[in-house]
Amino acid sequence: MNVDVAVIPAAGRGTRMRPATRVVPKALLTVVDRPAIQYAVEEAARAGATEAVIVVDLEVGHLIQQHFLVEDRLPGLEGMRIRPVVQEEPLGLGHAVYEAREMVRDRPFFCLLADNIVPPGHDVLGSLVEAADGDASVMCLRRLDDEYLSRYGVVVPGGPERDGILELAGAVEKPGVDEAPSRLGLIGRYLFQPEIFDILGETEPGVGGEIQLTDAIDELARMGRVRGYVADRDLLDVGTPLGLLEASVELGLARYGDDFRRVLEEVLSR
């Protein structure tokens, strides 16, 4: 299967990152030397995508658009076509993905949440394509600790796990530890078949009154159309201040090596 398009929802206003996000969209917060969302676009390009549909909000989304559309092309993204789509109302992640349907049309697509950055050397999108084995949708998963079962979508396993791949029978958005059907959580990387749009178009608001992507995944999984791929590492979460700091340190070390290590040691020794 050839996947040439990625949908990157970036319309969230980042309430957990106030006051940084009072004016600046959270997708443009700097991690080392580039905005968070640029990592997602670069990751999609490494997986072979040549088109990124970025779903932005009405108020500040034009700033994201400008970052990618200023005249000189960003190194590494020369072959990437960036297409913004405006989500006019914040009706949920499922609704944001649905807004990309006219640009994606009948193609399989990657979906990458820009809050989550893949650690250097741990790309997963290629593994999702392999796990699809033809034409399934594939969800990237991690085993979660208790506290995360109320912060992530959690899946219902539909069969045994072999080499990190399993069939899925359903999914629940942020179930909490008492209701969680498993410990396997959705970590923000997905490979969808275009049939997800038909389901999203019919999905009613769920948790928090929002149209949840997880509810559409649940529906598709009940039809036997979804697999899971368990990643070997957690993604870096830049949606909270501490997560952003952790990501900055890890990506900073990858970029500046010993120079930055010395800075960290110096700071820690004060």
Please choose, out of 40-48, 122-130, 186-194, 256-264, the segment that lies near ligand G1P by the rule CB under 6 A: 186-194
Binding residue for ligand G1P, selected from 87, 116, 137, 203, defined by CB under 6 A = 116
Rg (CA), the chain: 18
Nearer to ligand G1P, 41 or 217 (CB): 217
Residue 93 touches ligand G1P, criterion: CB under 6 A: yes
| DSSP annotation string for 181-240 | S-SEEEEEEEEE-THHHHHHTTPPP-GGGS--HHHHHHHHHHTT-EEEEE-SSPPEETTS
Residue 87 touches ligand G1P, criterion: CB under 6 A: no
Locate all alpha helices (DSSP H) within the chain, ordered by sequence: 36-46, 61-69, 93-98, 101-104, 125-132, 195-200, 213-222, 241-268
Q: Which two tokens stand for residue 153?
A: 């979508």
Residue 25 touches ligand G1P, criterion: CB under 6 A: no
Residue 214 touches ligand G1P, criterion: CB under 6 A: yes
Please choose, out of 67-75, 123-131, 185-193, 258-266, the segment that lies near ligand G1P by the rule CB under 6 A: 185-193
Q: What string marks each residue from 126 to 165 as x (binds ligand G1P by CB under 6 A) or -?
A: --------------------------xx------------
Phi, psi of 21 (to 5 degrees): -100, 20
- Smallest gap, in angstroms, from Cβ of residue 51 to ligand G1P? 23
Q: Which of 56, 44, 55, 58 is nearest to 5 (CA)?
A: 44
Nearer to ligand G1P, 87 or 116 (CB): 116
Nearer to ligand G1P, 80 or 235 (CB): 235
Using CA atoms, how far apart are residues 76 and 84, in angstroms rounded to an integer? 19
Residues from 61 through 80 that contact ligand G1P (CB under 6 A): none
Using CA atoms, how far apart are residues 239 and 257, in angstroms rounded to an integer? 24
Please choose, out of 40-48, 65-73, 184-192, 245-253, the segment that lies near ligand G1P by the rule CB under 6 A: 184-192
Instruction: Assess contact for 101 and 23: CB atoms under 8 A.
Output: no
Binding residue for ligand G1P, selected from 186, 199, 211, 226, defined by CB under 6 A = 186
Using CA atoms, how far apart are residues 78 and 100, in angstroms rounded to an integer? 22
Nearer to ligand G1P, 80 or 175 (CB): 175
Using CA atoms, how far apart are residues 131 and 129, in angstroms rounded to an integer? 5
- Residue 86: CB atoms within 10 A of its CB come to 14
Q: Which residue has the tokens 């970029």?
A: 255
Residue 188 touches ligand G1P, criterion: CB under 6 A: yes
- Smallest gap, in angstroms, from Cβ of residue 193 to ligand G1P? 18
Residues from 162 through 181 that contact ligand G1P (CB under 6 A): 173
Contacts with ligand G1P by CB under 6 A lie at: 93, 113, 115-116, 152-153, 173, 185-188, 213-214
